[in-house]
Structure 1
Amino acid sequence: MAGPAAPRRTVLKGAALAGMAGLGAAACSTDSKLGHAETPTPTAPVDLGEASEVPVGGAKLYKEQRVVVSCPAKGRYKAFSAQCTHAGCLLEKLEGTVGDCPCHGSKFDVTTGEVLHGPATAPLPEVPVTAAGGKLVAGPRS
C-alpha cells in the first residue's frame, strides 16, 4: 500500500528550490578545461574616471566596469578583472589591497592578481590600463 501523497505545498516548495539551485549553478558556471570561472575582460576601452581617485599604495574597485585598479607608485597603475576566478562572482569590497569575493570567500591581492585564500586557484586576469590627461581607461587601446 502506498504512503500518503505529499501535500501540494511541499511539492511546490521542492520544485521552487530545485529551480533556484539550477539558476545558482548556471550563474556560477566554470570552464571545465581551465578549472575556474571564465573572467571576461573589457573588449573596448572603458573610461574609469579620474586617476586621482585611486590612492597611491592603494586600490579602487570599479564594480560596474568589473575592474579593480591599484596604484603602486604615483602615476603608475595596474588593473585586473574584478570577477572571481573560482565561480565568476564580482568582488564585493576591498580591505586595503585585498579583494573579497562574497560567494565562497576567496581573497585576492589586487596589486598582483594573486590568490591569497581559496577556493579560487587562478589569479585575476590582468586588464590593460592607461592614464592620460588625469583620466584612467581600462581595456584594449583604441
Structure 2
Amino acid sequence: VVPGPNGKLVLVQPTSGEIMAFNAACPHRQVIVAAPKDGTITCPGHGSQFDGATGALKRGPAKTGLTSVAVKVDGANVVLA
C-alpha cells in the first residue's frame, strides 16, 4: 500500500513484468485495505476480500471489487499511466 495522488494505492505484480494498481479504499466503507497476502487483499474493517491479481470481489460485505488505477513502469519507478 503506497500513497497516490487521490489516496492510497495497492500495487500488485500478478506476473513477472506486470504491475497493477487498485484504489486501497475498500468500496464497503472506505477503510484502507491491507497489503496482499497469499493472493488475497483483505479489508481489516469488516473482512471483505479481493483477488490479489485482479481486485475482483471474493467475499463481502463489499458489493464490488477494488477500483483499478492505470499505472506503468518507467525505468525503476511505477507511475500513473
> Structure 1: which 5+ runs fail to align?
1-60
> Which secondary structure does the structure 2 equivalent of 1:73 belong to?
coil
Cα deviation per residue 1:20-68 (whole Å; 9 max; x = unaligned)? xxxxxxxxxxxxxxxxxxxxxxxxxxxxxxxxxxxxxxxxx32x43111
Which entry has the higher C-alpha Rg, 1 or 2? 1
> Structure 2: which 5+ runs fail to align?
none
C-alpha deviation, 1:71, in angstroms: 1.4
Q: Considering fraction of residues, name the structure with more strand.
A: 2
Is 2:34 aligned against 1:92? yes
* TM-score, structure 1 normalization: 0.50
Q: Which residue number corresponds to residue 68 of structure 1? A: 10
Distance 2:12 2:73 in 1: 12
Q: Considering fraction of residues, name the structure with more helix.
A: 1
- Report percent identity of matched pairs: 32
Q: Is the 8 A contact 2:10 2:35 kept in 1?
A: no
C-alpha deviation, 1:105, in angstroms: 0.8
Q: Which consecutive segments of 4 or more residues in structure 1 shift more than 4 A?
A: none
Q: Please report the RMSD computed on the Cα atoms of aligned residues, expressed in angstroms.
A: 1.5
